[in-house]
């Protein structure tokens, strides 16, 4: 997959949306991962690096955190944000592909934990990413934490048929790029295929009801995801610009309902590499 094929693109507006979303999600995600005993952490597809830096802060001074990111645009912005926060040296960010991790031989098989979020849904071969992650962690129980979307779990209450239709058209368009919008439900399978043992599944809640502080950012994020895909949806014939505009108007009206609720959660699966898994991640 080239940078151009990445469904969200790399515009300034898209990067602002992702930054806002980070603030909402990262605290919840950190609460869902037990970081005790972790001294080396690999973050695959680290994007703008906010969560990568959150991990490093949570782990403390002597921990080593390495983020791998393929896009130079994302890496530049990640480095700019780290610098602006006075955290230029907090994590190492390295350019490379998740399906062929740019690790030294001396680094492979040494990480306590390898993590990836919102990346498996963007690669045509997510199993290759998970195999690389398994090979990157310690053979004696290194942990692999996968978090990704299952777009079908979105529910709005009261119902908003226009936006639910647009949402479905949006996530179905992942298939035009050869990627799986429902990969979140397959995380444990991917671990098994890569030779790791799934030891835990849970989900990170990412919804809100009007009246929660989170409601506005969650709604803005959904709005931004759809608006950002307007051109590609129109071009692919899946949803015209007019249909999307109508759906977004309906969504704005919906969001003023006092009981408006977004139900959404992100599947998380954790696996362990055991001695029976070789360096290529095979059992
Ligand atoms: C939606 S962002 C998620 C970023 C970060 N993991 C987070 O949760 O904030 C997906 C990132 O994965 C990167 N990416 C996609 N395919 C990749 C690949 N094959 N190797 C490395 N990075 C990749 C994209 O460039 C993008 O920065």
Cα(159) to centroid(ligand 1), Å = 32
pLDDT of residue 24: 74
- Could you identify the atom of ligand 1 that is nearest to the CA of residue 129? 19
Looking at the structure of the chain, the number of domains it has is 1
Give the ligand 1 atom nearest the CA of 68: 21
Can you read off the two tokens belonging to residue 265?
A: 């959660």
* Residue 278 maps to a domain: no
Measured distance CA(148)–CA(129) in Å, rounded: 13
Any domain includes 100: yes
Q: Please state whether the predicted TM-score (pTM) of the whole model is above 0.85.
A: yes
Q: Is position 139 within any domain?
A: yes
Atom of ligand 1 nearest to the CA of 116: 6
Find the 90 Cα to ligand 1 centroid distance in Å: 20
130: in domain: yes
CATH (domain of 168): 3.40.50.150
CA 119 – ligand 1 centroid, Å? 5
One DSSP character per residue, 178-227 reads T--TTGGGGHHHHHHHTTPEEEEEEEEE--EEBTBTTHHHHHHHHHHHHH
Q: Which residues line ligand 1 (CB under 6 A)?
A: 1, 6, 22, 45-47, 51, 69-71, 74, 97-99, 117-119, 122-123
Does 283 fall in a domain?
A: no
Q: Which residue has the higher pLDDT, 2 or 108?
A: 108
Quick one: average pLDDT of 168-179?
Answer: 95
What pLDDT was estimated at residue 61?
A: 81
Find the mean pLDDT for residues 119-125. Answer: 97
| 125-166 tens-digit pLDDT | 999 999 999 999 999 999 999 999 999 999 999 999 999 999
| Residue 242: domain span | 3-272
Mutational pocket test of ligand 1: of 43, 45, 184, the residue with most ligand atoms within 8 Å of the beta carbon: 45
Question: Do the Cβ atoms of 179 and 170 come closer than 8 Å?
Answer: no
- Cross-strand pairs, 22: none
Residue of 52, 79, 122 with the most ligand 1 atoms within 8 Å of its CB, for mutation = 122
Average of pLDDT values for 70-84?
96
The more confidently predicted of residues 51 and 61 is 51
pLDDT tens-digit readout, 158-171: 999 999 999 999 99
User: Quick check: bond before 90 cis, omega within 30?
Assistant: no
Short-list 59, 66, 70, CA closest to 42: 66
Q: Establish if 281 belongs to a structural domain.
A: no
């Amino acid at each position: 997959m080239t940078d151009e094929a990445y469904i969200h693109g790399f515009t300034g507006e898209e990067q602002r949306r992702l930054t806002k979303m980070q603030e909402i999600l990262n605290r919840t995600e950190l609460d869902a991962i037990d970081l005790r005993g972790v001294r080396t952490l690999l973050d695959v597809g680290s994007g703008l690096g906010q969560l990568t830096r959150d991990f490093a802060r949570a782990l403390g001074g002597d921990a080593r955190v390495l983020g791998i990111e393929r896009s130079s645009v994302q890496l530049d912005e990640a480095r700019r944000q780290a610098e602006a926060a006075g955290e230029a040296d907090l994590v190492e960010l390295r350019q490379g592909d998740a399906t062929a991790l740019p690790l030294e031989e001396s680094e492979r098989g040494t990480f306590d934990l390898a993590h990836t979020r919102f990346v498996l849904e963007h690669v045509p071969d997510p199993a290759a990413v998970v195999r690389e992650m398994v090979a990157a962690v310690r053979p004696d129980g290194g942990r692999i934490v996968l978090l990704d979307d299952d777009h079908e779990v979105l529910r709005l209450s009261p119902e908003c048929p226009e936006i639910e239709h647009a949402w479905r058209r949006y996530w179905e368009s992942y298939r035009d790029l050869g990627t799986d919008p429902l990969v979140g439900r397959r995380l444990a399978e991917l671990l098994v295929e890569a030779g790791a043992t799934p030891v835990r599944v849970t989900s990170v809640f990412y919804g809100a009801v009007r009246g929660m502080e989170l409601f506005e950012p969650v709604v803005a994020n959904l709005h931004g995801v759809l608006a950002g895909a307007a051109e590609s949806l129109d071009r692919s014939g899946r949803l015209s610009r007019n249909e999307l505009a109508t759906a977004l108007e309906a969504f704005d009206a919906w969001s003023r309902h006092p009981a408006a609720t977004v139900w959404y959660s992100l599947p998380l699966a954790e696996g362990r590499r055991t001695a029976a898994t070789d360096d290529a991640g095979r059992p």
